[in-house]
Structure 1
Amino acid sequence: KKKVPYWRIFSHLITSSGIRDTARLLRVSPNTVNNRISRMARQAIAIHASLSSLISLQEDLVADGFESFVYSQYFPNNINLLAGKESQFWFTSDYSHLRRKGRMTEYQKKKNHQIQKRLPVHRRSIYRSFQDLVRFSLDLREKSSRSSVTLFTDEHPQYVRVMCDLPREERGLITHRRINSKLPRTVQNDLFSVNYLDREIRKDNSDHTRETVQFARNANNCMERLA
């Protein structure tokens, strides 16, 4: 068997190289590259979970989602990120499928309708995803023995619904601050930490580059490369 150094795959992975591109450079098959990425992802997730369990929260939190797609643009997704406001530490993320939106030709509308009939998407997928992030934030607060935690987000209506649906006894434990997403994405912006993560993901991960042709073929591969 040919030995493939993990560090070489990793260096290509974080510089927006595609799977086939990396495979050609290393003279191995794309399946081999995917296999090594999956192994690294599992190790990264395990290490992150282990270290996160030791964290005592000392800062406010920021959450936001960025949209991408897998397989084709008929399968868009939203990946919610939760990060530390000051440290920019990536605490967790959550994946949710979306329905295709925006301008489409008549043929695309018909095809999209057929796909939705066969593979329906839950109407409240972003709601559920953000709900998990809020629950994670409350768990961090509890482990850190803080009286409350502040969560900054943009003005997405689903975020407001999640916060309004919290049990009464939990509403005083988390403060929701809404920031206009159209404000300049500078360091002074309260959403800077997730805006910066969004920028780095778009820049360094070929799956999520604007107008990419190196999109992920399935959700598992998409999230493994983010790990």
Structure 2
Amino acid sequence: MSDAEAETDVETTPSDGTDADASLAAFQFADSFLPVGTYTLSYGLEQFAAAERVDDADNLHALLVDYLRRQVGPCDVVALAAAWERADDEDALDRLAAVDERQRSVTLPKEFRESSEKSGRRLLELVVETTDDRVVKAYHDRVVAGEVPGNHAVALGLVARREGITRDRACLLACHSFVVGLLGAAQRLVRLTHTDAQRLLTELRPVIADVCEAYAGRDPAAMAPFAPLVDVMGMKHERAQRRLFVS
């Protein structure tokens, strides 16, 4: 094939604008540039570092695996996927609210609940301010009125569905963003270079994929994170005299 023929072939290849929009939306929601406050959160990692339980890349890797398999997967991924399934129209918002309430009830540390609700509310607010989606606005109104918690995973599931992002991609996005957030926190807390952080992010890809496959689609009634030490560290962080992070 000549260069001219190749160029013609590329130019006439149809593209799916909707899929492109969804991909770009996914990139936007996964970017740490998104101003929802997640960069202020360590979800107990700060307390792990203060107790010298995490001080290098190796034990950070082990902790992140536990976070993903024992907390993020059985809680956030379940909530996000269930919210995505219930985000088709305004008539489904009561069922969406039930998922939201379930996540709040199974999240034990106060800081974790408050952080999730604040970042979720901010995400909904951003989407309301930048789009005209009536379903997101209706749910945001409920959050503002104090009728529902507005957990971040639920908000992200709702927004992802409305933006055309697939359920599975939204779950991957959430886990990736969680890990990136904790790696960013770790760089301020332990000996971790930028290269170390990228290596860990690469090594955790199969764990993220496994977690999403295992927990997406589970009944939200079975939502049950079980990471006792993470919960304890989160609760201890609430009483720490010096804190760099909100959680």
TM superposition score category, shorter chain reference: under 0.3
Q: Which has the higher strand share?
A: 1
Which of 1 and 2 has higher RCO (CA within 8 Å, sep 6+)? Answer: 2
Q: Which has the higher helix share?
A: 2
TM-score by length of 2: 0.25
TM-score by length of 1: 0.27
